Every structure is written in structure tokens, then in C-alpha cells.
A and B are shown apart, each in its own frame.
Chain A
């Protein structure tokens, strides 16, 4: 039949929400900016340079792979930029610039594109890349103390002022770090590039929750689990409260809980599932920190939980409207 009007005939609905993938990714990037700013303040402009290299490499590999495979481009969705920022955030600021490029290749090509691209990967690309980059363990553990740069503008040096005494190292040994709780909260501590300022990460998280990009379920479940366990079972001679607070503010917990564990593709979609996922991440994080050889367990905890997402979703599908409750208090499980 003829369409004289020239109107488009398609099935309903005929309206789309303004928030597309690109807007969501842009919101995540905005939410990461405060932490990046803190990092520049603490570690100098090298932090920004590493982040930019990482982002550029991620975007390049995203574009290059799809161009090579003759697949439609979707670099414009900005997800590669988010991956680039997150990966840079979990590297020491001293890494040579070629390291994030290798990481970007692993994250984008191996972890993301080989599985089908955005939304199809089963591991968080940034964390998987970080795990892969531990093939260079020396480079990955060259920490610097805060404000140890000779000049804030120095983006090629910085690798000289190396210290092994990170707060996580101290906690691993059952000692309290050599910084006040306030310093740890603000970020005046050693650690990975973007993880140091709990305050700025929380600010970013609040922005995401306010803009309804993420729900607070996973971060809250994750952080509360770590808080409860570390409070009940402090290690060494430490006082419970400060032990708990250092465990929350040092290391990658805030970055992981707010930005990594909430990655849509690698976290459950059901409400109950998200809480289970957060608790699981918290448990494994504390187990690794207490009993593992690594001082930090956030990234491995999230990677392990990533692999359980489909199981969790399947087990926690919501009760259909008008359907019988899964558990009836009177009749027991059905």
C-alpha cells in the first residue's frame, strides 16, 4: 500500500526517553572528574597524562577493532572513555606510558570486543586489564607518597620518589597506616592514581545516584559488608573503629564499590541480585585482604562476582505481577 504522507510506520511505542547510552556514559565521566582532580592535586599532572593516554588508547582500539572487522562504529557512546578512565584510576601514577596502552588493548579488544562489544563482556574490562597488567608486578607496585612530585607540572618524572609503605601494605600487616583517618578520607595517602580520595569518589557516586545512573544498592551493600566485618573482626592490636575506617577509606574500596561493581554489563539487574552481588564483593574483598598474599582484594572480588551475575539474575527474577510469592511465610518455600 502506498504511503502518500511519507510518515514512518513502526510499532509502538513512539516516544523514547532522552537518556541514551551516551548520556549515561557522559554522566559517569563527569562523576569521575572530582576524583581525577584530586589525583592531579595529590600526584601532579602526570596523573592526568596517564589517564589521557589510557582513554586515547581505549578509544583507538575500540575504533580500530570495529573498523578492522568492518563492524558498525559506536565509539560515540563514550563507553571506551569510561573504561580508559577507570583503568587509569587503578594504576600507580608512576607507570610508564606504554603500560596503559597494553592494558587498553586487553580491556577493549580481548575482554570487550571479542565477546561482542558493549554490553556483552562478562568481566569488567578495566579490572580485567588491571589483573592482566600484574604481569608487570614491579611496575604495578611502584607507589609514591602524596605530594612527592618535584613540580606539579612534571609529567615525565615522578618515578623517583618511590615508597613501599602504602596504607594497604600497613593494613595487610595488621598495622594502622601512617596517616590520620581524615587524611585517608581526603586522599592524602599513597595508592593507585584515582582511588585515593574517598571524599571525591563519594561525591561522584552521589552525582550518579542523584542522576539515577546507578542505584545505591550495590555500593551500599558492598561498603556496609566491609564495614561490618572489619568492625567485628579487627586485625592486630588496632582499635575497631579506626581499623574499620582505614579499611573503608584506603585502597580501592570506594572506587570499586561506586564505579566498578556498578558497571551495568557485569552486575545483576534485579534489586535483590544487586544486594547479593554487593555483599559477595564485600565478603571476598575482606577475605583477600585478611588471608590473601595481596594486600588489596577489591579488583579480584569484583572480577569473581562478575562471573556469578547470570546465576544471581536467574535466581532472583522478580515475582511476576499477580503471581504467587516465591516464599510464603505461612506455607514455606514453594
Chain B
């Protein structure tokens, strides 16, 4: 009934504020703050010290962990601080602060790789990793790790241009403004997987992007128009919409022979290969009803969000919520000094006009949450059993399947915090399991010790 999220239920998705405006390149700020954690996995260690001179594109952070991506300077200039700074995730993270000398002196490390054997997974993975490319849709999973773990296991390559979150149009603008580069990036990925053609899924609320890319793509890229229904761009939902295959619980798309990359990730692969340019800038949608002049900005990674707000004409009225990412899955910010990261697809400032929370949330058992849940869970029951700490029932209700898309909380007429209940339920279940595992390990160790003591006693 509520399958279509903003499509049917809500006539607009707030995208029109920015979808028709060309993205604007933003001048590099006087200084950038580059956190050493711009990807999912182990944070990097800084490779530079205070006082060092760094060039644009130079590697300034790296890690030896298998799931990691190096970090590069997004401007040239002097390192003025290496210290923990506030990260958009709300914690303080080791960051490199570079004072911009305004010259954008390019690092010698930035060299094109197009003459190399790109169909060799090892070569491409190296290029992609060295360029610091991560899932640019927001998940920031290191792309090289995704490629190497999927090679040989997939028969379908899906490029994610769904962009289902309200307000955000950064991927939309990219598809309109950089179609050739995007398609070349897709082809590089397609070749390394040895797949004859790639699927590019785009929600139908972007008809201009669909028709433009259709007119430009060859037989090797298939444009798949998707129903405009949040969370169409979530990996499992996208795989299902494109192929009809359901990724089993707890598995990655590779389990059903699929691999998914965001359009911005594919574009970043193109840049890494053809220009040698690492991931040091991205398009950010600056929008929301508390922003004077909503727009898409092309900005350097590490730009404090304060600059973006200024560039977009400042606040209009007082912002009630400041969000990094979309309104459904983005995180709330309270400080304008936090920097743009690799996964920052949007910066939204909302007024309290759409705050519909109530003092006394009440479930009326309408069942809408279950109806809209993309994982077919029953959030209202999860909420109920989470409150009662009934972990057995939570497990039976498959709480671990929750992808935290936020749709249940969005739809709830009783204004419950259902997504949050699911998160709490997941955490409780996870920590209970960890505790049980620890206990079992301790028991085993104790038993062993006793056994040994008996043996040695004999």
C-alpha cells in the first residue's frame, strides 16, 4: 500500500530545489581538515607531520589493514596541525589540517594509469586503492576490497544511480554533467569483471538523466529506470529491482552473483585511471528549507561545512536540524567546523516546520511500519519486545536484518522511534551474543586449565 515512498504518498521529494541547477565548483578553502577515517574499517595513520609541505593529491594517510583506503591532500600547502578534530560521526578523530597555499600544486604521484592492463584485477585494485576510492554513495566501503572480493563470483554489475533519499541531487547532477566520464568508469569496472554489459539503475524521478544516458550509452550499458520508492538505492533493494534476486540475510550481493557500485564511485574510478587523480573532491547537495540558496557544490574533501553553508547564501531562519547525508539516514550535526568527507553526498539544514515528533508516542497497531519495511520485518513488534528486553523474540523477529533505512519511523502515525528501537534491539542482541561467546571461551579455558592441572598433578 505504501510501497512508493515519496512517489505516490508524497507528491514531492524536495529534490526540485537543486536538481535543475548546474553544480558549482567551489573555491578551495583557506584550510582543510582531513580526518584519517574517511572509509569503513581501520583508520589510517598520518604520513605527514606538522610543518611538512604537501602537494595536492599527495598521500597523507594510509593503513596496512586489508579493509582500508589511503587518504590524500585535497589542497597544496603546509600541514599546520595533526591532532584529533571533530568528525561528522560525532567523535574526535585524528586529522591532518593543511593550510592552503592557493597554488594547487599537483603531486608527482598523480599520473594517469590508462596505459596499464586494466583488465587485470590486481592492477585495477591497486590503482583504485591507491586513489583512496570508497563507496561514494555514503557507505564508504573501500572499493578495491569490494572489487577483489567479488572478482570471479559475479555475473551482474549494477551501477547505483537511484539516489532515493529526498533532497539529494548530487548523483543526479553528476549523471547529467559528466556522462562520458561516468560511462567510461562503468566500462573499466565492467571489463575487469569480464561481464558483457552493466546495468545502470536510475529512479524515474530523474527522466532527464535517463534519456541523456540512454542516448549516449552503447549496447554495453543498460539503463534500468526504477520506481521512485525509497529505499530503492539500498544495495539489497537495488539488486532485487534490477535482477529479481533476493540477497540472503547477512550476506553481500556477491551471494547472488551481483556487485553494486555507486555512480560517483564509477566516476572516481574513471578519474583515477585517466587522470591519476585520487578521491579529493566530490559533489555535495546543500539544501533544505533553512538554506537560502540551495545548490550543488563541487568541493574539496576536508572543507569545513561552514564554507558550504556560506557558499549557499547562509541559513534562512534558524536551522532546527543540520544533517550530513539525507534526511532518512543522514547524521545530525551540531558544529559547523566538521569537514566534508568522502561519503558526504549532502548537507541539509531543516527548520522545525516538518518536526512532527510528539511528547507521548503511541503505537496504534496500524501496521504501516510492517507494510513499508523493505526487509519485511515487523518494527512495531520489534519495538515492543525491545522495550521488554526479550532477546529471544527479537531474534525470531529477525531484527538483525534491519538496514536502518528509517522508513518505519517516517511512516509511523503514532510517532514512535521504531528505527531506533531496531538499532537498540540489534545492539542488545549483538552484545548478548558476544557476552555468551566470551563466557563460553572463558569456561573452555578454565576447563582446559583444570585438565592440565590434573594431568600435571598425576
Q: From residue 185 to 243 of chain B, which have CB atoms closer than 8 A to chain A?
A: 236, 240
Q: B335 contacts A119, CB within 8 Å? A: no
Closest B residue by C-beta to A77:
B362
A293 lies within 8 A of chain B by Cβ:
no
Say yes or no: is A137 at the interface (Cβ < 8 Å to chain B): no
Q: CB of A135 within 8 A of chain B?
A: no
Restricting to B303-342, which residues have a CB under 8 Å from any CB of A? 318-323, 325, 327-336
Q: Which of A21, A79, A267, A268 has the most C-beta atoms of chain B within 10 angstroms of its own C-beta?
A: A21
Interface window among B31-39, B73-81, B367-375: B367-375
B385-410 with Cβ < 8 A to chain A: 397-398, 401, 404, 406-407, 409-410
Q: Is B110 an interface residue (CB 8 A)?
A: no
Chain A residue with Cβ nearest B9: A17
A125 to B371, CA, bound (A): 25
- A11 near B417 with CB under 8 A, answer yes
| Beta-carbon contact of B370 and A5 below 8 Å | no
Contact mask for chain A residues 150-175; partner B; CB cutoff 8 A; 1 contact, 0 none: 00000000000000000000000000
| Residues of chain B with a CB closer than 8 A to A17's CB | 9-10, 356, 410-413
**Closest chain A residue to B360 by CB distance?**
A72
Given contacts A13-B406, A13-B409, contact A322 B236 (CB under 8 A): yes
Pairwise interchain contact B322-A322, C-beta atoms closer than 8 A = no
Q: How far is the CA of A71 from the CA of B366 in the complex (A)?
A: 23
Q: Is A20 interfacial (CB 8 A cutoff)?
A: yes
Report B-chain residues with C-beta under 8 Å of the C-beta of A10: 321, 332
With A13-B410, A20-B415: A320-B401 Cβ-Cβ less than 8 Å: yes
Which of B246, B397, B410 contacts A321 (CB under 8 A)? Answer: B246
CA distance A313 to B318 in the complex (A): 45
Cβ-based interface call for A264 (8 A):
yes
Q: Mark B331-362, 1 if CB is under 8 A from A, else 0.
A: 11111100000000000001000111111101
Q: For B423, what are the chain A residues with a Cβ–Cβ distance below 8 Å? A: 11
B362 touches A13 (CB 8 A): no
B115 at the interface (CB under 8 A from A): no
Please report the total number of A residues contacting B with Cβ < 8 Å.
46
Please tell me if the beta carbons of A72 and B404 are within 8 angstroms of each other in the complex.
no
Given the complex, which residues of A lie within 8 Å of B102, measured CB to CB? none
Of B43-51, B125-133, B247-255, B439-447, the one touching chain A? B247-255
Main secondary structure of the interface of A (DSSP, over half): loop
When the two chains form their complex, are residues B375 and A119 in contact, meaning their CB atoms are under 8 A apart?
no
Chain A residues closer than 8 Å to B409, beta-carbon distance: 13, 16
Residue in B330, B350, B365, B371 whose Cβ sees the most chain A Cβ within 10 Å: B365
Interface residues of A in 241-286 (CB under 8 A from B): 264-270
Do A14 and B334 touch (CB < 8 A)?
A: no
Asked whether A9 and B332 contact (CB < 8 A) given A14-B321, A15-B354, A320-B377, the answer is: yes
Task: Enumerate chain B residues within 8 angstroms of A8, measured Cβ to Cβ.
Answer: 320-321, 332, 355
Query: Given A7-B319, A12-B330, A13-B410, A322 and B249 touching (CB < 8 A)?
Result: yes
* A34 within 8 Å of B (CB atoms): no
> Are A270's CB and B2's CB within 8 A?
no
Q: At the interface, yes or no: B179 with Cβ under 8 Å from chain A?
A: no
B415 close to A265 (CB less than 8 A): no
A321 in contact with B375 (CB, 8 Å): yes
Q: How many pairs, one residue from A and one from B, have CB atoms within 8 Å of each other in the complex?
A: 170
- Which residues of chain A are near B333, meaning CB under 8 Å? 5, 7, 9
A281 to B411, CA, bound (A): 29
Query: Which residue from chain B places its CB closest to the CB of A6 in the assembled complex?
Result: B318
Q: How far is the CB of B329 from chain A (nearest CB, A)?
A: 5
Q: Cβ of B417 and Cβ of A118 under 8 Å apart?
A: no
Q: With the chains together, A118 CA to B363 CA distance in Å? A: 8
Q: How far is the CA of A118 from the CA of B320 in the complex (A)?
A: 30
What are the residues of chain A within 8 A of B100 when measuring CB–CB? Answer: none
Residues of B in contact (CB 8 Å), total 71
| A1-42 interface code vs B (CB 8 A; 1 in, 0 out) | 101111111111111111111011000000000000000000
Q: Is B29 an interface residue (CB 8 A)?
A: no
Bound-state CA distance A317–B423 (Å) is: 20
Bound state CA distance, A24 and B246, in angstroms? Answer: 34
Report the minimum CB–CB distance from B125 to chain A (whole Å). Answer: 28
Q: How far is the CA of A9 from the CA of B381 in the complex (A)?
A: 26
Q: Could you tell me the distance in whole angstroms from the C-beta of B357 to the nearest C-beta in chain A?
A: 7
Complex: A277 Cα to B325 Cα, angstroms: 42
Would B410 and A319 count as touching, CB distance under 8 A? no
Taking the complex as formed, is A326 at the interface, i.e. its CB lies under 8 A from any CB of chain B? no
A240: CB under 8 A from chain B?
A: no
Closest to A21 in B: B413
Residue of B nearest to A265 (CB): B365
- Is B364 close to A, CB under 8 A? yes
Q: Which residues of B contact A270 (CB under 8 A)?
A: 367, 370, 378
8 Å CB interface, A291-334 against B: 313, 317-323
A24 — which chain B residues lie within 8 A by C-beta?
A: 364, 366, 413
| Residue contact B322 to A5, C-beta cutoff 8 Å | yes
Give the nearest-CB partner of B398 in chain A. Answer: A320
Q: Contact string, A53-97, partner B, CB cutoff 8 A, digits 1/0? A: 000000000000000000010100101000000000000000000
- Does B376 interact with chain A (Cβ within 8 Å)? yes
Question: Within 8 Å of chain B (Cβ to Cβ): is A117?
Answer: yes
B58 at the interface (CB under 8 A from A): no
Q: Are B249 and A21 interface neighbours, CB within 8 A?
A: no
The residues of B that contact A4 with a CB separation of less than 8 Å are 334-335
Question: Do B404 and A319 touch across chains, with their CB atoms under 8 A apart?
Answer: no
Contact indicator A320/B375 (Cβ below 8 Å): yes
Contact, CB under 8 Å: A269 / B370: yes
Question: Which residue from B166, B335, B366, B420 sits with its C-beta under 8 Å from A5?
Answer: B335
Query: Which residues of chain B have C-beta atoms less than 8 A from A7's C-beta?
Result: 319-322, 332-334
Cβ–Cβ contact A322 & B251, under 8 A = yes
Contacts of B412 in A (CB 8 A): 16-17
What residue of chain A has the Cβ atom nearest to residue B334's Cβ? A3
Is A148 part of the binding interface, using a Cβ–Cβ cutoff of 8 Å? no
Contacts of A117 in B (CB 8 A): 362
Contact flag A118-B364 (CB < 8 Å), given A6-B318, A212-B1, A320-B401: yes
Q: How does the 8 Å CB contact mask read for A212-238 relative to B, with 1 for contact and 0 for none?
A: 100100000000000000000000000
A6 to B317, CA, bound (A): 13
**Complex: A117 Cα to B364 Cα, angstroms:** 10
19 contacts between A and B (CB under 8 A): A5-B333, A5-B336, A9-B333, A11-B420, A12-B330, A13-B329, A14-B321, A14-B328, A15-B406, A17-B413, A21-B415, A79-B364, A212-B1, A266-B365, A269-B367, A313-B378, A321-B375, A323-B249, A323-B398
Given A265-B365, A321-B247: 13 more A-B contacts, CB < 8 Å: A8-B332, A12-B406, A13-B328, A13-B407, A17-B10, A17-B413, A21-B415, A77-B362, A117-B362, A118-B362, A318-B376, A318-B378, A323-B398
